[in-house]
Amino acid sequence: MTEHPADHPAGPPDPADPLDPATVLLDTGGTVAGWSDGAARLFGRTAADAVGADLPGLLGSPAAAAPLAEAVAQAASGRPWAGTLPLFAGGTLDEGAVNGVATDGVRATCQALTVAPGTTASGTTASGRTLVALTVAPPWAGGLELLNEAGRRIGSTLDLTLTAREIVAVTVPRFADAGAIYVLERRLADDDTPIAGARDDGSIVVRRLAVAFADDDPGDWAAAFPTGEVVVYPPATPYARCIATGRTVEFGGADALDTIARRTGRHVDGVLDHTSLLAVPLTARGRPLGHAVFSRKHGRAPFGPADAALAAELAARAATGIDNACLYRREHRTATALQAGLLPTRVTVPPGLRIAHRYRPARAAVGGDWYDVVPLPDERVAIVIGDSVGHGVTAAAAMGQLRVAAHTLVSCELPPAEVLTRLDAIAQDLDAAQFATCLCVVCDPATLRCELACAGHPPPLLTLPDGTVRHFAVADGLPLGVADPAHPAEYEQVSDVLPPGGVLAFYTDGLVESRMRNIEEGIARLASALLASHAAAGGSLEDTADGTLALLADQQGQDDIALLLVSPEPR
């Protein structure tokens, strides 16, 4: 097996750029005075190792000494130089072939630079000297096009599985005959902190997220290498070694076959046809995420160090997309669990009323919708519904704090206007970017009288027995957390009566707002849906709720939705 350095001291290049160039600053004697991040990736040497060294000696390319000296001398005389340098012969690339294309070295340019006093690489003061900037083009054929496509396609979504599929779709079959993406299982956990005191023998536990094969590969390979499978690789395997060392490991089909046989006891036909394989570490923010595997079959040029360098560039871009997807996945799961834990799974309904409640989450992000039904003395009930602006953990956390505060305040039998006034003060202590809408109602089933106060929330709708719908009485106020603390918001409390046979609907803006229509049009659609579903439900409040959401199915998925229906018990 052969290991190739895969260090990325400054992280992956910007995907918008074709490639971070390999630039080396040389003095007129050919000694390295500066070393770019691109040079570190291409040549596999760090700046600490390179600065002060003779470049041909550093790369093990003695044949490059004479032509490099001529190029440096020409550039130092004021005439830029461009040509081919045999910098890789006997060094980090195989002489004579790169990706199966004949070559005598790498394309390079040399241009003189004048260094101002005090800016030498060693930090010493100088009166000014001439350095030569050597810029080397990457030696792989078609590499720039492949990297450009990778930059366009990889990371276009925050879905982890789709991101992994994008990576193998870019590389197979153009770069390899097969490819797979593996992510460390602990990176997929909600808490990826290693367990204190846990035994670490060097084995890795990874999950296969995506795999792709060339068209002429056996169809049963998909069954032999299923996506979603969790695999344990011992420390001696190329896969564990590439993660442990942070270096690309080149190996053959026999090693892969032996690993499969030891792990599964199965013999997979066709593995030995893949004579050249690369295990490439996926690293982001200084942390290993997993590894990629690429393979080529006999009849195609085996992977060389130039291909390993290209694979490292691809892995760097892929790792950024995977890291972002992992972070989003963890945040989404955290926010979902937080919100699910705070929303009521059931409500206590006092005698004389019926209540149906529904919640529909957004597909892509967790929102801040919340509601609560709180029993009060004298068989009264308080209903609170709100929506914290934004999505994700921040919105879910703000929702949780406001819901708990609202539950406590209404339990103290404070009137709705006072509840909102105090919630507004609490909201102002939350994150500066967080505000919320809220509607608070206290209903007495004996008289069906409702006391309401509103903080920027969409108005409740009342469906009447005569087949009409009207807005329930409400005086709108500022959303929670918006007012200046020195001039707090004031909320007006109003009264209205829920008539026998009526259905009062409370909802969040996800049910009425969209990019296709304004909120007034959305409220009118909701009113029509309430009427139609109530007429078809035969008096069932649960069926009315389900029918309303079914009629407004096009609203679901973009934002989370909460819907509460309240109606008097039939007498």
What is the rounded distance in angstroms from the CA atom of residue 35 to the CA atom of residue 445? 79
What is the rounded distance in angstroms from the CA atom of residue 555 to the CA atom of residue 560? 9
The HSE-up count of residue 201 (CA atoms within 13 Å, CB side) is: 8
- Residues whose CB is less than 8 angstroms from the CB of residue 567 and which lie 6 or more positions away in sequence, other chains included: 353, 354, 498, 501, 502, 503, 504, 541
Query: Which candidate in 31, 130, 157, 161 is catalytic?
Result: 31
Starting at the edge strand found earlier in the chain, the sheet holding 106-115 runs 32-35, 22-26, 129-136, 106-115, 81-85
What is the rounded distance in angstroms from the CA atom of residue 117 to the CA atom of residue 525? 73
Q: Which amino acid is at 490?
A: E
C-alpha gyration radius of the chain: 33
Name the helix (H) or strand (E) containing 213.
strand 204-213
Residue pair 385/454 in contact by the 8 Å Cβ criterion: no
Helix and strand totals (H; E) in the chain: 14, 22
Place of tokens 């709180």: 374
Buried b (16+ CB within 10 A) or exposed e, 192-230: eeeeeeeeeeeebebbbbbbbbeeebeeebeebbeeeee
Under DSSP, is residue 422 helix (H, G, I), strand (E, B) or coil?
helix
Residue pair 230/185 in contact by the 8 Å Cβ criterion: yes
**248 catalytically annotated:** no
Buried b (16+ CB within 10 A) or exposed e, 525-543: bbbebbbebbeebeeebee
Characterize the bridge pairing of strands 469-471 and 436-444. Answer: unpaired
Place of tokens 């896969």: 239
Q: Using CB atoms within 10 A of its CB, is residue 116 exposed (0-12), middle (13-18) or buried (19+)?
A: exposed
Under DSSP, is residue 107 helix (H, G, I), strand (E, B) or coil?
strand
- Extract the tokens encoding 104: 């005598």
Residue pair 281/242 in contact by the 8 Å Cβ criterion: yes
- Extract the tokens encoding 134: 């050597």
Catalytic residues: 31
